Every structure is written in structure tokens, then in C-alpha cells.
């Protein structure tokens, strides 16, 4: 059984690929290395003892994708991560985001729908915009996207839902996950962005390690318990396991509908300042930070109601936020070494 993982050398994709290999599946990874490094492949091999098939390729390459599928007739599942993912960058470069995120998705769906290959989509809680109540449920109304990135996720979901209606043998799971943090316990793979990190935790760890002088906390007078944004931080290994559960859910035909949506989170809201405190408590390291102006595109508060995925797939988050932060710091120290 072969499983295609697009963006499989990225942060979440690499952790999912590792679990797939450990589960005995043949993993095909494609990645254009736009926001990751080829060394991640060595990390996956070091953990699993097996080097997965890898091809440096853009998912928008229609000819390359067609050739790949022709060469691998035993393809039984697609897990799609390959997309640009920065809220701020998407505001500055909307055309690039729509072309890449939706164009790549369409190329994959042409293949998956024709061959009825189960499809798992990497969506995001950004599709909810600023929800009116917490925790957020899957059936809560979707608000107008605050950023082009969030809009590509919402449109992507709609495209997949339309495909599931049009192709009765095509099945998909849309995973709306919240804020992944942490790294593999071995510290052999983790979040490894090119350039300045767009996510909070890698910027935090890089600041503590000395790459930056201070961590900027964007917004300090929001209507929250301490004035900073609140998020649902989930260990990347918990998130990766949710993808394995989703794949098995589709392969074993346990889904009740062609297209189903699931939140993936812990159900706990943690503010930025609380996260900094928890990091200091978990690692013994001091975080130098400064309060800054709010950032365009940021929501004030978002955390999940993850009841549905627990009831239907038996999945729930197992790791604590302290364990996630410890693993992130261990990975940062490893990178410096």
C-alpha cells in the first residue's frame, strides 16, 4: 500500500510520514523544498530505519504528477500538505497564494477523483475567522476569511466538497487543525522553516537560543484574560496521529459521508503570555520578549471542540503543552549543535 504525502518534508508532513512508515506503509513524498530542507529526509530515515521515496517536485506540475501516479499504480491514499501557510505573507502576496494553494489542490483532485483515492486535506481553524463562541465546533458558521491564506483553505474545502458530490466513489476527510507545536521525541525532525519563522514557538526558541534579541508579542490589549491572543496549541505528534487515524477511517470505510470535517485540537485555550510562562517552567530558560502592536490577519481567540473526532475515530490529544514545548526546545538545541 502506497501513500502519497505532498509537502512531506515540511513540519507536519515529515511527522506524518514517519508514523506512516512505522505503520508499515510505503510512503511517497513530494516536496519543492520551498520552506524546508532535504536534510529532513535523513531525519525520517534515522527514526524509521527506512528511507522513503522522495521526488523534488511542485504539486502544481501537472505533467510531473501524472507521471508519478503512472509509476505508482498501488497508490491507496493522498495526504495533502503542500501549500504556502503564512497569514502575513498571504496578505502581501495574495496572487501567489491563490495560484499555489488552489492550483496544487486541483492537480491532486484530478488524480484522486478519477481513481477514487481517499484524500486527506490539511485545512485550518482559520476558516472560522473570529468565531463568536468558544470552543469552536465543526458546525459553527464560517466567517469571512481574515487573510488570503485562510480563504485558500476555505475555498479548498469547498472544492473538495463539490468533488465528493460529483464523484460518488471519492471520499475525503478535511482536518481543521489549530496550532501545532513541538517536535519528534528523538529531536531528529521538527519545525525547520527557512528564513524568519512565521509561527510563534520556533521564533520563541530561536530567540532563547540567541538568534534574535527579543520575541515580539503581537497585541497586548485584546479582550482576553491577559490582553494577548489565545490559541489551542497541539503537539505535532498528536496532530500527526490524527492523520493516521483519518487515513484508517477512510481505508476501512468507516466514514458515514463522502466528505467529513473534523477539528483537531486539545480543547484548551492558552494565551501567548501563558505559553511563554509554560515554556520557562518546562525548560528553565528565560524568554526575552517585548509587547508589540497587533498583527493584521490575527484572530483574537480560537480553541477547538474536538468531540467529533474522538467519537468517530477514537482520537484525542495525549501530550501536554509542557511536553510539546520541551520537545521544541530539545529540537532547537539539537539544531544549534
Number of domains in the chain: 1
Looking at the DSSP assignment, which residues form a beta bridge with residue 218? 292
Instruction: Give the residue numbers annotated as catalytic, written as ranges.
Output: 149
CATH code (residue 166): 3.40.50.720
Cell of 54: 522522495
**Given this model, what pLDDT does residue 15 score?**
98
Of 24, 28, 22, give the one whose Cα is nearest residue 79: 28
Asked if residue 52 is part of any domain, the answer here is yes
DSSP 196-211: S-SSHHHHHHHHHHTS
Which residue do the cell numbers 491532486 mark? 108
Q: Give me the phi and psi of 60, to 5 degrees please.
A: -80, -10
**Given this model, what pLDDT does residue 239 score?**
98
Q: What is the CA radius of gyration of the chain?
A: 19
Cell of 148: 488570503
Can you give the residue range of the structural domain that contains 116? 2-181+234-265
**Given this model, what pLDDT does residue 245 score?**
98
- Regarding pTM above 0.85, the answer is yes
Asked if residue 188 is part of any domain, the answer here is no
Q: Is 152 helix (H, G, I), strand (E, B) or coil?
A: helix
**Given this model, what pLDDT does residue 194 score?**
82
d(CA 278, CA 1): 41
Looking at the DSSP assignment, which residues form a beta bridge with residue 119? 78, 172
Asked if residue 97 is part of any domain, the answer here is yes
Asked if residue 326 is part of any domain, the answer here is no
Which residue do the cell numbers 504539486 mark? 59
d(CA 201, CA 196): 12
Of 267, 268, 269, 253, give the one whose Cα is nearest residue 312: 253
Which residue do the cell numbers 495526504 mark? 79
Cell of 207: 530567540
Check if the beta carbon of residue 106 is closer than 8 Å to that of residue 159.
yes
Looking at the DSSP assignment, which residues form a beta bridge with residue 234? 180
Asked if residue 211 is part of any domain, the answer here is no
Give the mean pLDDT per block of 10 residues along the chain (337 residues).
Answer: 97 98 98 95 98 97 94 96 92 96 97 97 94 96 90 97 97 97 98 86 97 96 97 98 98 97 98 98 98 91 98 98 98 93
Which residue do the cell numbers 528523538 mark? 186
Asked if residue 321 is part of any domain, the answer here is no
Cβ-proximal residues to 283 (8 Å cutoff; 6+ apart), any chain: 208, 325, 326, 329
Asked if residue 113 is part of any domain, the answer here is yes
**Given this model, what pLDDT does residue 29 score?**
98
Amino acid at each position: 500500500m502506497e501513500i502519497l504525502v505532498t509537502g512531506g518534508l515540511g513540519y507536519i508532513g515529515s511527522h506524518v510520514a514517519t508514523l506512516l512508515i512505522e505503520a508499515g506503509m510505503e510512503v511517497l513524498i513530494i516536496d519543492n523544498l520551498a520552506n524546508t530542507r532535504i536534510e529532513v529526509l535523513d531525519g525520517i530515515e534515522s527514526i524509521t530505519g527506512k528511507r522513503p521515496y522522495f521526488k523534488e517536485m511542485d504539486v502544481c506540475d501537472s505533467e510531473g504528477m501524472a507521471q508519478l501516479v503512472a509509476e505508482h499504480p498501488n497508490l491507496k491514499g493522498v495526504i495533502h500538505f503542500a501549500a504556502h501557510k503564512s497569514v502575513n505573507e498571504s496578505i502581501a502576496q495574495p496572487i501567489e497564494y491563490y495560484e499555489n494553494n488552489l492550483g496544487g489542490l486541483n492537480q491532486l483532485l484530478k488524480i484522486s477523483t478519477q481513481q477514487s483515492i481517499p484524500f486527506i486535506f490539511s485545512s485550518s481553524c482559520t476558516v472560522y475567522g473570529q468565531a463568536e463562541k468558544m470552543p469552536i465546533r465543526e458546525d459553527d458558521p464560517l466567517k469571512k476569511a481574515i487573510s488570503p491564506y485562510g480563504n485558500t483553505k476555505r475555498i479548498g474545502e469547498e472544492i473538495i466538497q463539490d468533488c465528493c458530490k460529483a464523484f460518488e466513489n471519492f471520499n475525503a476527510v478535511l482536518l481543521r487543525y489549530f496550532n501545532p507545536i513541538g517536535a519528534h521525541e528523538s529531536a531528529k525532525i521538527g519545525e525547520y522553516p527557512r528564513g524568519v519563522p512565521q509561527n510563534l514557538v520556533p521564533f520563541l526558541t530561536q530567540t532563547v537560543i540567541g538568534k534574535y534579541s527579543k520575541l515580539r508579542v503581537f497585541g497586548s490589549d485584546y479582550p482576553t484574560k491577559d490582553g494577548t491572543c489565545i490559541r489551542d496549541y497541539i503537539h505535532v505528534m498528536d496532530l500527526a496521529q490524527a492523520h493516521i487515524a483519518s487515513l484508517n477511517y477512510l481505508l476501512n470505510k468507516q466514514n458515514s459521508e463522502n466528505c467529513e470535517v473534523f477539528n483537531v485540537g486539545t480543547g484548551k485555550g492558552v494565551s501567548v503570555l501563558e505559553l511563554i510562562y509554560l515554556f520557562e517552567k518546562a525548560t528553565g530558560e528565560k524568554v526575552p520578549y517585548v509587547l508589540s502592536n497587533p498583527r493584521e490577519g490575527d484572530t483574537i481567540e480560537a480553541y477547538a471542540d474536538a468531540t467529533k473526532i474522538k467519537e468517530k475515530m477514537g482520537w484525542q490529544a495525549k501530550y501536554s503543552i509542557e511536553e510539546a514545548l520541551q520537545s521544541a526546545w530539545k529540537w532547537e538545541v539539537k539544531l544549534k549543535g
